[in-house]
Structure 1
Amino acid sequence: MRTEKKILVVEDDPHINELIFNLLTTRGYSVASAVTGEEAVEYVKSKTPDLVVLDLLLPKLDGWDVCKVLRGAGAKTAKVPILIVSVLSRFDSVIEDPELTNVSFFSKPFESADLVKEVDRILDESRQ
């Protein structure tokens, strides 16, 4: 049941944050949002969402660093799937880092329906 799934959206652009928040809420997910990497790390450590939708270009603690902190913070956060949604077209540094597991990528700009399908796919896979 989708309402049981918690998703954290981490995006500093308020329009994109609101768009993703509304898309996923309408789909029946329980959604929280953060605008900084620090807020994201704090939330994930305390609430353990089922998925983090993460922008890379964040102020101070960027998305790459958020991934590294969450993967190094212990087993509880290490298993939370991360969907990076970014305008950056190259993800080689994440793919080549063996510590950054369970990370998927989605490019901006995106079609709303495609993003929702990707979120559904990741959450369906994480149930298995």
Structure 2
Amino acid sequence: MVTRKKILIVEDEESLLRLESILLTSKGYDVKGVSNGKAALEAMASEKPDLVLLDIMLPEIDGFEVCRIIKVTEETCHIPVIMLTAKKCQDDFSRGQEVGADWYITKPFKSAMVIETIQRFLP
């Protein structure tokens, strides 16, 4: 049996979290969705995802800090993090790179682009 790749979606906007979950589940991924940075870090420890789709503007701990923590933690530093955010300015892209994001997609996004990007990291 083929093990389904696990994706952690971190998105505080419920309708978007649901949409992304449906999209990825329909493509055969095992999806866990959380709505804040603290829950994301807890899920990283318990779920061991293969990839993280991460919003930046989150309650409690923002996506930049969540990404930084993922990338400096030995058990999770190898996990690809794709920033999926409405933040579009160059400073945000640069900050995403600084904290170790593997890719950066801006909202509104095309579903096909998200799937292609994920497939690049999870062949």
TM over 0.5: yes
Contact 1:5-1:30 within 8 A present in 2 as well: yes
Compute the RMSD of aligned alpha carbons.
Answer: 1.6
Instruction: Sort the Cα spacing of 1:76 and 1:67 in 2 relative to 1 into closer, same or farther, 3 A.
Output: same
Contact 2:67-2:101 within 8 A present in 1 as well: no
Contact 1:2-1:29 within 8 A present in 2 as well: no
Contact 1:85-1:108 within 8 A present in 2 as well: yes
Shift of 1:3: 5.0
> Residue 82 of structure 1 corresponds to which residue in structure 2?
81
Contact 1:86-1:107 within 8 A present in 2 as well: yes
Shift of 1:101: 3.4
> Residue 30 of structure 2 corresponds to which residue in structure 1?
30
Q: Which runs of 5+ in 1 are unaligned?
A: none
> Residue 94 of structure 1 corresponds to which residue in structure 2?
96
After the TM superposition, which parts of structure 1 deviate over 6 Å for at least 4 consecutive aligned residues? none
Measured in 2, the distance between the counterparts of 1:3 and 1:110 equals 28
- The within-5 A match list for 1:30-109 is 30-73=30-73, 75-90=74-89, 91-95=93-97, 97=98, 100-101=99-100, 103-109=102-108
Q: Which runs of 5+ in 2 are unaligned?
A: none
Measured in 1, the distance between the counterparts of 2:87 and 2:2 equals 29
Measured in 2, the distance between the counterparts of 1:114 and 1:2 equals 24
Q: Partner letter of residue 116 of structure 1?
A: I
Contact 2:4-2:29 within 8 A present in 1 as well: yes
Shift of 1:33: 0.3
Measured in 1, the distance between the counterparts of 2:121 and 2:114 equals 11
1:10-40 CA distance string (max 9 Å, x none):
0000011001000000000000000010000
Shift of 1:94: 2.5
Contact 2:96-2:104 within 8 A present in 1 as well: no
> Residue 110 of structure 1 corresponds to which residue in structure 2?
109
